[in-house]
Chains A and B, each alone.
Chain A
């Protein structure tokens, strides 16, 4: 029983990180209808900004950690908006395939430029937050796991409020529903899309810092696998659907953790893709998504 609870907590903290990345995918997909492959590398850049900021801040304090995380979020929000402005905007409205290829190109560019700038060798991430391990009736809970879950929950709550309670959030939902009509009622689509990229990238950066705290080594290719899995989580929940992404991420985090603890642990990395293929076969709109008919 206690082992089950232990795995549950581990799964929850992994799921929380996937959720933070998955939200960026799902929001961008909502407004632009394309997979931003570069998102997973924005996550990586976030971890690196956290790394550089963390080295200049006092170690093991709450405010130091929060400042490092805020720096990563701000930096990545800028990066996300920059990528959108320079690379994706000129292609907006172009053929899907071209946008997809560009996104893959951007992703590769960030990865390999990262290898040139940061170096390809993995580095140890500084312990920017206080690290303590608590034992509770045989359960081992690290401070980092609590932190991941709390910060992710707060950010998700903030996102929910932004999307459903603010003007810009309403505009985002309008653009997601129908970009043309949104423009007709006076919404500046460019601003909304830029904001969406900024918001998604900031969440990914937070996810990157939290991920680096739990798996304390970072390298320029660290984003690839969590990024793909987070996208699977977004599809699982219904891409374009914000609560769906969080739900899918939690499910995926749990399943992976339990598989990791079982004797099939070497197949862990294949689980996400098996789920992806299964979900696209039997419920292509995802758990919470709605199917829309294709208009000719």
Chain B
């Protein structure tokens, strides 16, 4: 029996990430930095897309969940790491295991926070949900500002630099894999149904609240993982780094990519991470541009800029490149 195609794709992506990180010594460090930032944003945007795109709920608190993951995983490596690894810092394998455990713990912590926020708030819709998720993100931030063990308002410093391209892109591949499998499964059709018409879905017996909560928790988990990666990449985290503006940045990626279109969202995340690097000289205009982009998109192209049917495009390209094949059946066509 052949292994299913999506598993092969996941394994391929992880192997590619590993291969890339093996050559990371030869790659320009600046380029590597940008690459890592792109990967983290891809995880954030793709996971938020599960809630905002596929399930049609508008969450504005993604940065809050990211901060839970960032703080929890950083706390593990900073506070417990030295005693676990010993004075010499441990071998690379030990560090890897510790980092993996920290990332998973960060993700689980964020998922728990997502559950705590989601259960009360997901009965709400639209504007109210947006506001409550925003408020929850702010509450999380205020709490972190008051926990002195985690540095309080000054933030947590001296986080070990464990994040590599391998970790980021493996986590990214896992995020895309999970979201794609979830949405395309029989169970996952419920997300799309909730998005399309909540009342009709309830009428045919779907528990829309449960779907929303599942989407929320899964999305929060990956936000937490992304937060852990971010913390071990930037080496210092502050509560204000995860405020409302950060949530908005992720939301813009999802909207630009076309809500509910994973490929589009990945492209948007890549573009919106690279763009500020390219436009570094006009950095003060960045947020003005973002906001004008949002308004213009909603007025002119409300379904997003990169919202194309990528499967159909691939199929058409394939047919053009291989005209000898019988029409109608390229591999991308579904």
Contact = CB atoms under 8 A, between A and B. Distances in A.
Interface residues of B, number: 38
A96 B120 CA distance: 22
A100 B126 contact: yes
Nearest to A114: B288
Interface in A266-296: 266-267, 269-270, 272-274, 276-277, 280-281, 284, 294, 296
Contacts of A111: 287, 291
Interface stretch (A46-54, A74-82, A86-94, A149-157): A86-94
A104 B244 CA distance: 11
Contact of B244 (A91, A95, A109, A224): A224
Contact of B134 (A228, A281, A294): A228
Given A109-B292, A266-B146, A273-B135, A280 B121 contact: yes
A109 B199 contact: no
Contact of A101 (B145, B255, B285): B255
Given A231-B131, A267-B142, A276-B131, A91 B298 contact: yes
Interface string B61-105: 000000000000000000000000000000000000000000000
A35 B131 contact: yes
A156 B251 CA distance: 37
A134 B119 CA distance: 50
A108 B288 CA distance: 7
Contact of A296 (B58, B136, B199, B295): B199
A112 B145 contact: no
B38 interface: no
Contact of A100 (B58, B146, B244): B58
A111 B248 CA distance: 13
A5 interface: no
B127 interface: yes
A193 B132 CA distance: 27
A266 B142 CA distance: 8
Contacts of B291: 105-109, 111-112
Contacts of A224: 244
B302 interface: yes
B139 interface: yes
Interface in B167-194: none
Nearest to B296: A105
Contacts of A266: 142, 145-146
Given A98-B298, A284-B124, A273 B284 contact: no
Nearest to B153: A266
B321 interface: no
Interface string B121-153: 100101110111011101100110110000000
A122 B251 CA distance: 28
Contacts of B120: 277, 280-281
B54 to A, nearest CB: 13
B206 to A, nearest CB: 16
B99 to A, nearest CB: 31
A270 B199 contact: no
B298 A35 contact: no
A281 B294 CA distance: 31
B298 A101 contact: yes
B290 interface: yes
Contacts of A273: 132, 135-136, 138-139
A104 B294 contact: yes
Contacts of B1: none
Interface in A19-42: 34-35
Given A87-B295, A228-B134, A270-B143, A98 B302 contact: yes
Interface in A175-196: none
Contacts of B128: 235, 280, 284
B124 A280 contact: yes
A133 interface: no
B299 interface: yes
Contact of B130 (A100, A106, A269, A277): A100
Nearest to B130: A100
A274 B132 CA distance: 9
A102 interface: yes
A282 to B, nearest CB: 10
A199 B132 CA distance: 27
Contacts of A296: 199
Contacts of B294: 101-102, 104-105, 108
A116 B288 contact: yes
B127 A96 contact: yes
B140 to A, nearest CB: 9
Nearest to B198: A294
B127 to A, nearest CB: 5
Contacts of B58: 97, 100
B126 A96 contact: yes
Interface string B292-327: 111100110010000000000000000000000000
20 contacts: A35-B130, A91-B299, A97-B56, A99-B298, A105-B298, A106-B291, A106-B295, A108-B287, A108-B291, A111-B287, A224-B244, A228-B134, A235-B131, A266-B142, A267-B146, A270-B143, A273-B136, A273-B139, A277-B120, A294-B199
Given A269-B138, A272-B135, A280-B121, 7 more contacts: A91-B299, A98-B302, A106-B295, A270-B142, A277-B120, A277-B136, A296-B199
Interface of A: 34-35, 87, 90-91, 94-102, 104-109, 111-113, 115-116, 224, 228, 231-232, 235, 266-267, 269-270, 272-274, 276-277, 280-281, 284, 294, 296
9 nearest A-B residue pairs (beta carbon): A273-B135, A105-B294, A108-B291, A109-B291, A112-B287, A270-B142, A105-B295, A102-B298, A35-B127
